[in-house]
Amino acid sequence: MKIKIDHIAKIEGHAGFVADIAQGNVIKARLDIAEGARLLEGILQGRSYNEVSQITARICGVCPVVHTLTSLKALEAAMDVFVPPQIVLLRELMMMGQILNSHALHLFFFSLSDFFGIKNDLRLIKKYPQKAKDALLLRDFGNALIDVIGGRSIHPLTPEVGGFKKFPTHKRLKELEEKSQRAISAAERLAKFFGQLKYPAFERNCQFVCLSFPGHYAIYDGEVKSGKSLETASDFMPKIQETQIRGSAVKRSQYGDSLYMVGALSRLNYNAKNLNQRAKAIFRETDLVLPSSNPFHNVLAQAIEMVHCVEESYKLLKKAEALDFEIDPQPFEIKAGKGYAAMEAPRGTLFYYYEVDEEGFIKNANIVTPTSQNLARLEEDLKEYLPSLIGKKDICQKECEEKIKMLVRAYDPCLTCATH
Amino acid sequence: MIKKPNIAIISLTCCEGCQVAILDLGERLLKLTEKVKIGDFAMLEDYPEPENFDIVFVEGTPITSENIRRVKNLRQRTKYLITIGACACLGGIAELKNYQDKDQRLRYVYKNVEGIDNPDIKPVKHYVKVDLEIPGCPINKEEFLDVAKKLVAGVFPKIPQRPVCYECQLKRNECLLQKGQPCLGPVILGGCGAPCPSSNYPCDGCRGPLKGAAINNFNNKLKEIYGFSQREIDLIMQRFGMLNDMYPEPPAIKGNLKVNKLID
């Protein structure tokens, strides 16, 4: 028997699903990805260090901030550029905005309808007007953080190698601080709501990977944690093996022989002890037991992270009050070098590598996105999950199709990122 | 006025940032949806498509042969086809490879290139008739809302031909060009609200050239007065796939021999 879903809506990008099944055995389960090849790593060759982060932002309209910043970090590593703590703080604030605006979009607009069998968000909004308001408020708050610091919420303008082209005023940062109060209540309400949803049962053996930084819920910086091992980005990234399926513009990644999952659930599994207070309290109210190997819990993990990120924004904004941003830009020398960087994107660890020549032009580039890492794991999950859906009769009816889509959406895949 | 027009927002290959910008209209988008029927908006719903549309907004670049088929098919099924964003209107960042060795670029990214489409990137208007272009990377969501509202009211909108400088000056920004930065504001179509120069980021032309702008003249001024090299200027103009629109013919250089045109 063949299962074929032509189009899975409500994910970032275009994909369908195909599976081959014979007598209850899943022979093949694969996402069919219809994105065109934009050849990002290729077209960066010969372009200047001062523009490539603007180009890579265009990999994804949902998470342009993390692409901009990880690209900058890799360039800074390649050219040994010192980044002052004020700059790091502003970037961290932008990252809180990034995770909030992306999670709000995914949780309410992409994933929630799966739990109620509703196919149209406009109906979902009518059914849960308060939840919709909370999600929109959190998305707006995330956007405002990016807009105030980055100059624009989609494809931010101000971040550059070593710093910013323009700094936010303290007055505008203060306004954000005030906004965070309403955002925290909204995040708590939404997280409690997601805590009460019924998640399908599905346990599997899975390796998790995310950044880890002592005492922090690592987002902007850290070492790559995978089981008991801890490596720097420059050690980990070269060991990621990217493989290609004939005719597909998307690569699948694995680490050595093992498939792994990145994203909110990985972060929660490893770093929950470093969550902020209110996020921790919400987490304790849920039935979630960590480490969880149920991929559907990625949705709940995102909801808990939203509370954490609003709290973190408030803490960072409080710190920002005392800082002077109008410092002279750090002088740096344009020179040849190689640099690796990793950051936690909303969907998981994002890796960048650049080799720069002595005039600051790109010689080589590599980008490994969260979805390209998750893809192989997701397909393996689908393979393991399908038999329980089709039963003995080898048929995949509506309910089975909906569950397949639900599992795909739980990973929050971004196929435009994966293709790049 | 069309009674409850059936609209669609469709993406070809791109970052989908323009769709995100539309979603970010938030409650104003919800209000708009009271006046229209959403025929297809994959970020919001999972229904089969209707047979025909009144207005189709297209974001993204046609890269795969499926993308091209799709946009041709949509053209036949809609009254208005409107492109949104730099990818659909100009080619966008995907078009950078047109100015490079695109086969080398493909082989650089993929070991196995079989079955991966790698055409020269062309904007949507190359394949089908486009009724209106809402440019930008990403689009200005206010401009989108304005266009959508006018269409729903039965008025065909127009994007005013003004340079980016017009809005930049209204914002009382310091002129980046005068400070020696390669800002393309004077020759680029405004309507964006000048977010870039307002952030000390020189305009890099995501909305494409202003009609009738003296491009060659501007290009030469960038070189003569501000000391930029042609390579630096070209790198900027390539960024959103605009270079070929700026210079459909290579720029005329004084003193060069004129190529004799065939006389018919």
Pair A23, A62: CB distance under 8 Å: no
- In our burial notation (b when 16+ CB lie closer than 10 A, e otherwise), range A8-45 reads bbbbbbbbebebebeeeebeebbbbbbbbbbbbbbbbb
- Compute mean pLDDT per 10 residues along chain A, 420 residues long, and list them: 90 91 87 91 96 98 98 98 96 98 95 89 90 95 98 98 96 98 97 97 96 97 97 97 87 91 98 98 96 98 98 98 86 96 98 98 98 96 91 80 94 93
Pair A41, A365: CB distance under 8 Å: yes
Contact state of A55 with B20 under an 8 Å Cβ cutoff: no
User: Is residue B90 situated within a structural domain?
Assistant: yes
* Nearest neighbour of B15 by CB, restricted to A60, A125, A165: A60
Q: Verify that B120 and B81 share a domain, yes or no.
A: yes
Give DSSP secondary structure letters for chain B. Answer: --SS-EEEEEE-BS--HHHHHHHTTTHHHHHHHTTSEEEEETTTB--PPPS-EEEEEEESB--SHHHHHHHHHHHHHEEEEEEEHHHHHH-GGGGGGGGS-HHHHHHHH-S--TT---PPP--GGGTS--SEEE-BTTB-HHHHHHHHHHHHTT--------BHHHHHHHTTPPPTTTTT----GGGBB--S--HHHHTT-----TT-BPTT--HHHHHHHHHHTT---HHHHHHHHHTTT-HHHH-SSPPP-TTSPPPPPPP-
Q: Which one of B152, B177, B198 terminates a domain?
A: B152
Tens-digit pLDDT profile for residues B76-108 = 999 999 999 999 999 999 999 999 999 999 999
Report how many domains make up chain B: 2
Residues spanned by the domain of B42: 6-152
Contact state of B30 with A125 under an 8 Å Cβ cutoff: yes
Q: Verify that B196 and B96 share a domain, yes or no.
A: no
User: Is residue B36 situated within a structural domain?
Assistant: yes
User: Is residue B252 situated within a structural domain?
Assistant: no
Q: For A38-419, which CATH superfamily applies?
A: Cytochrome-c3 Hydrogenase, chain B (1.10.645.10)
Contact state of A61 with B14 under an 8 Å Cβ cutoff: yes
- Tell me the three state secondary structure of residue A230: strand
Tens-digit pLDDT profile for residues A62-74 = 999 999 999 999 9
Q: Verify that B108 and B213 share a domain, yes or no.
A: no
CA distance A183 to B53: 38
pLDDT of residue B261: 36
Q: Closest-CA residue in chain A for B65? A: A36
Query: Domain residues of chain A, as ranges?
Result: 38-419
CA distance A415 to B91: 20
pLDDT of residue B125: 96
Contact state of B15 with A158 under an 8 Å Cβ cutoff: no
Q: Is B49 on the interface with A (CB under 8 A)?
A: no
Beta bridge partners of A12: A414
Give DSSP secondary structure letters for B65-123. Answer: HHHHHHHHHHHHHEEEEEEEHHHHHH-GGGGGGGGS-HHHHHHHH-S--TT---PPP--
Pair B206, B241: CB distance under 8 Å: no
Give the model's confidence band at B1: pLDDT under 50 very low, under 70 low, under 90 confident, else very high: low
User: Is residue B18 situated within a structural domain?
Assistant: yes
The order of strands in the sheet holding A337-345 is A337-345, A348-356, A362-368
Q: Verify that B226 and B135 share a domain, yes or no.
A: no
Q: Verify that B14 and B128 share a domain, yes or no.
A: yes
Beta strands B78-84; B53-59: pairing state = parallel
User: Is residue B260 situated within a structural domain?
Assistant: no
User: Is residue B59 situated within a structural domain?
Assistant: yes
Please give the backbone phi and psi of residue B251, each rounded to the nearest 5 degrees, phi first: -60, 140
pLDDT of residue A205: 94
User: Is residue B216 situated within a structural domain?
Assistant: yes
CB-side neighbour CA atoms (13 Å) of A81: 27
CA distance A338 to A78: 4
Give the global pTM: 0.95
Tens-digit pLDDT profile for residues B156-170 = 999 999 999 999 999
CATH number reported for the structural domain that contains residue B115 in this entry: 3.40.50.700
Shortest alpha-carbon distance between residue B52 and chain A (Å) = 19
Q: Verify that B108 and B178 share a domain, yes or no.
A: no
User: Is residue B22 situated within a structural domain?
Assistant: yes
Chain B residues lying within 8 Å of A54, measured CB to CB? 204, 239
Give the model's confidence band at B263: pLDDT under 50 very low, under 70 low, under 90 confident, else very high: very low
Chain A residues lying within 8 Å of B174, measured CB to CB? none
CA distance A371 to A62: 13
* Global ipTM: 0.94
Picking from A126, A130, A134, the residue whose alpha carbon sits closest to that of residue A107 is: A134
Q: Is A334 on the interface with B (CB under 8 A)?
A: no
Tens-digit pLDDT profile for residues A329-361 = 788 999 999 999 999 999 999 999 999 999 999
pLDDT of residue A135: 95
Pair A253, A372: CB distance under 8 Å: yes
A 10 A CB-CB count for A220 gives: 22
Contact state of A246 with B117 under an 8 Å Cβ cutoff: no
Q: Which of residues 77-116 of B touch A (CB under 8 A)?
A: 92-94, 96-97, 100, 102, 104-106, 108-112, 114-116
Contact state of B33 with A122 under an 8 Å Cβ cutoff: yes
CA angle B175, B240, A414 (to 5 degrees): 120
Give the model's confidence band at B2: pLDDT under 50 very low, under 70 low, under 90 confident, else very high: low
What's the token pair of residue B105?
Answer: 């670029």
Q: Is A331 on the interface with B (CB under 8 A)?
A: no
- Best of A38, A114, A403 to substitute, by most chain B Cβ atoms within 10 angstroms, is A38
pLDDT of residue A397: 83
